[in-house]
Amino acid sequence: MTDITRSVPKLTHTGAMVALAAAVAKSEALGVPQNINIVDEGGNLLAYVRMDGAKFLSRETSLAKAISAASHRQPTSRLLPELELKLAVATNGRLTNLEGGLPILFGGACVGGIGVGSGTGAQDLEVARAALAALGADPC
């Protein structure tokens, strides 16, 4: 009966908190308050913080980045620009190609996504990459 089930790695809430703490530390080091969302492989929210001073509307975009990265199993910036409007409309704004979303991969298996927003795209990515490094996840 092994063909009807499979074992897959899962991101735990403990792992999400490790990633969140590393992302907050990197944000603080950069001096850029951020909204940081971490979701599991199904886009379910595991951890979130809006740092003091972060743009409140970036709460929504950072969540969309995390969900998009997990759903497509690739950085959000790799999603095709010509699909930007279609993705946003078809998903009620839940998918985006804005920079700052990375999948959380272990050995190529996606266990979730992280979305960061409130800084520049480069700053958002730097914060997200710090979270992946803290987990020992595959680099993106």
Query: Domain limits of the chain?
Result: 19-135
Contact (Cβ atoms closer than 8 angstroms) between residue 103 and residue 74: yes
pLDDT of residue 106: 97
Residues 70-90: pLDDT tens digits?
Answer: 999 999 999 888 888 888 888
Radius of gyration of the chain, Cα coordinates, nearest whole angstrom: 14
Structure tokens at 121: 């795209």
The contacts of residue 62 (CB under 8 Å, 6+ apart) are: 34, 35, 36, 37, 100, 101, 115, 116, 117, 118, 124
Share of the chain above pLDDT 70, in %: 99
Q: DSSP label at 111?
A: E
What is the fold, at CATH topology level, of the domain defined by 19-135? Beta-Lactamase (3.30.450)
Residues 90-120: pLDDT tens digits?
Answer: 888 788 999 999 999 999 999 999 999 999 9
Residue for token pair 């700053």: 123
Angle between helices 121-135 and 13-30 (to 10 degrees): 140
Please indicate whether residue 54 or residue 5 has the higher confidence score (pLDDT).
Answer: 54
Q: How many CB atoms lie within 10 A of CB 10?
A: 11
What global pTM score does this model have? 0.93
